Amino acid sequence: MMKYILVLFLMFSSVYADRDGGPYIGLGYGLANFDDGGKLEAENNTLLDNRVKASSLTLGAYMNKYFSVEFNYTDMTAWDTHKGYELEDKNSLKLFVVDVSTLAHYAFFDDLWDVYGKFGVGEVHQGNKEIKGFTFVYGVGTSVRLNEWLSLKLGFDRFSFGYDSNEDKSSNYKMKIDYLYTAIEFQF
């Protein structure tokens, strides 16, 4: 399903991009805090550290200066020496998120400074067990445009998802990942 959403996203992004907008690519780096909602304690395991370094790759397009859409890949294992969230049983929890989001922007000072709100959907993957699940994405941020093609961003994204431990189609554990990051964005 995500493949079809990605194809539609890329098609509409290229067709509807305004002359004030256009495609962009972003690279981000920050800290990702994981809240397991008590699941690991229920399974007699504990997170030794719920904070890891994370990186992100963004491909997107501005439809105009007020609206953009983007595809994001956020990896919580890329920079950490333990390769994921370290657990008490000496294993690690390796997570990454793939999502598609829409952003509403408001620019100040002749498009020099921008604030935005973000909403999207995606999948959280547990890389070492090939487990995946649906997530909502919420975010806010700000960016400063250095020139016509280069911006610096400061952002906060929340990935909110549930875990169904007894397979009754209900989320027994409400989990979230909070990702605070800085990014550099190149617009074409």
pLDDT of residue 179: 95
Confidence at 70, pLDDT banded by 50, 70, 90: very high
pLDDT of 186 over the 70 cut: yes
| pLDDT of 69 over the 70 cut | yes
DSSP secondary structure string for all residues of 19-64: TT-EEEEEEEEEEEEEE-TTHHHHTT--BS-SEEEEEEEEEEEEEE
Residues 12-44 pLDDT 10s = 544 444 436 789 999 999 999 888 766 666 565
- Residues counted in the chain: 188
Residues above pLDDT 70, as percent of the chain: 67
Query: Is-contact 123 99, C-beta < 8 A?
Result: yes
10 Å CB burial of residue 33 (0-12, 13-18, 19+) is middle
Domains of the chain, each with CATH number or no CATH: 2-187 (2.40.160.20)
Most confident of the following: 90-94, 118-122, 132-136, 145-149: 118-122
Question: Which of the two residues, 134 and 85, has the higher pLDDT score?
Answer: 134
Mean pLDDT of all residues belonging to the chain = 80
